[in-house]
Chains A and B, each alone.
Chain A
């Protein structure tokens, strides 16, 4: 059965997937976290509460969240070209992945921040902390476990998003599965890619859980 598999291609596809997922997770967190912090700050407490700004930001986040990823991938091709200079390849796939996942992570971050006891923020305020000190020295450290869970969920979701990157010639395991497994009826390739993705998801979840556990063991 597995005789016709070109293992070097499988290897390359795995590396491409990990590359896309790794870079886009990182960028999604870098972009999504500030958005999540602002969503939290505008909606809660009396630090910088601002209803209108919250609604504005919230609508934008919802817009990106409501477009199915396969559509988003194609719809923002002009934007992708503008950012990376091409609309084809692994790097070109990272742009829509980030555009899709950053708002997703922003919502997860907002939820994690809401879990922080507002009383602790108030205590910091009473101690003379500025809003930014409260964000960086209280809010984010206190929400650490929830934020790391959010990163794990985002990374796992990105594995699945990245499978569609083949549409823009992005490569990766999803692309491999469609080209060989579907278009050439090579069921064995399909099988192998599925197994690899399952393993990837399991490992990521396991690592994420370990980090969360080590963070929350102290509490």
Chain B
């Protein structure tokens, strides 16, 4: 669907040059919700803006549905952009136009007859839950409502792709949740491919199928959200995950007189009494030191730090039984380095 091939973006001014994206290749499948996450300055927004050529890559190719965007002339590029919706952190609505005029704007650009455009506008405002707001001006709306208008506007030309540039970063947590729900809803209804940029792991966790972690212009980690979430490989990913749960400090493992394991599970196993069954079967006991149970999109997952008590053989048996039941198990040494089991 979207294929980025060896994208490099360098900004050159008279005195210096700055490389925002370095030789990044990426495939995004049709119908996928793909997340780009990283700290500010990581290059994630630049990479996103390379998709619709708001930023023209210094090197590399952007293909959408097989079409090489970088090879298009001005007119053809404008045509291609009509099939790529985009929403922004600060909404970027026309302040001098009403809600209806804002949503109708892309249709006006495409010279859609007015009557058909107005029908479309009403349908879109229904879709985003803003029926009755046609005559309001953006200044009269809340942040969440403005983003809904922006989403309706982005969908006006029936795009295949929706690009979201920090779309929830200016919103409070409740509004963020409702906008993310809306994105999931339109994704299911319209079979959209969504690419979203964020610095919040919770956003990725709630809506994305796959995620790429960016740092200094490179993709340092990419994979299914559950994998990246439960088994982060890169330092930046771990830091991004940590800030999500920064309130609790980790227990000192030196005080624990038993081997400690990180046990992860995804899907139905999450709600099954796996730990206690395994403990009973192997005649051992366990204590939970730290943990989270939650959902990734619709998939339940858990990540626990468990001290397993019992004789060595019982513990070994318990661990292999856990692994056999589909849990991910990693032994954690006292200085918190991980040891593969």
Binding site for B on A (CB under 8 A): 117, 119-120, 122-130, 133, 137-138, 141-142, 144, 215, 218-219
Contacts and interface: CB of A to CB of B under 8 A. Distances in A.
B52 interface: yes
A126 B52 contact: yes
Given A128-B79, A129-B109, 9 more contacts: A117-B92, A117-B95, A127-B153, A137-B105, A137-B109, A141-B97, A218-B98, A219-B95, A219-B96
Given A117-B92, A219-B137, A133 B84 contact: no
Interface in B80-125: 80-82, 84, 86, 88, 90, 92-98, 105-106, 108-110
B311 interface: no
22 contacts: A117-B95, A119-B90, A120-B92, A122-B54, A122-B88, A123-B150, A124-B109, A125-B81, A126-B86, A127-B86, A127-B106, A127-B153, A127-B157, A128-B80, A128-B82, A128-B110, A137-B108, A141-B97, A218-B98, A218-B137, A219-B96, A219-B137
A138 B94 contact: yes
Interface string B47-86: 0000010100000000000000000001101111110101
Contacts of B105: 124, 127, 137
The binding surface of chain A is classed by DSSP as helix
Contacts of A218: 96, 98, 137, 139
A123 B95 CA distance: 13
A61 B280 CA distance: 88
Nearest to A118: B92
Given A128-B106, A137-B108, A218-B137, A119 B92 contact: yes
| Size bin of chain B's contact surface | 20 to 34
Contacts of A215: 96
B82 A123 contact: no
Contact of B96 (A119, A124, A142): A142
A127 B96 contact: no
A126 B54 contact: yes
The binding surface of chain B is classed by DSSP as mixed
Interface string B300-316: 00000000000000000
A123 B164 CA distance: 12
A109 B93 CA distance: 22
B109 A120 contact: no
B82 A127 contact: yes
Residue of A124, A133, A219 with highest tally of chain B CB at under 10 A: A219
Nearest to A127: B106
Contacts of B150: 123
A198 B157 CA distance: 54
Nearest to A218: B137
Contact of A142 (B54, B88, B90, B94): B94
Nearest to A131: B74
Nearest to B106: A127
Contacts of B74: 130
B88 A119 contact: yes
B54 A120 contact: no
Contacts of A120: 92-95
* 6 nearest A-B pairs in the assembled complex, by CB-CB distance: A128-B81, A123-B92, A128-B82, A119-B92, A128-B78, A126-B86
Nearest to A121: B92
A117 B89 CA distance: 13
A138 B80 CA distance: 20
Nearest to B97: A141
A162 B240 CA distance: 67
Contacts of B138: 219
Contacts of B82: 127-128
A123 B90 CA distance: 11
Contacts of B110: 128
A190 to B, nearest CB: 45
B95 A126 contact: no
A126 B84 contact: yes
Contacts of A130: 74-75, 78
A180 B92 CA distance: 58
A119 B153 CA distance: 15
Nearest to A144: B96
Interface in B123-182: 137-139, 150, 153, 157, 163
B109 A128 contact: yes
A129 B78 contact: yes
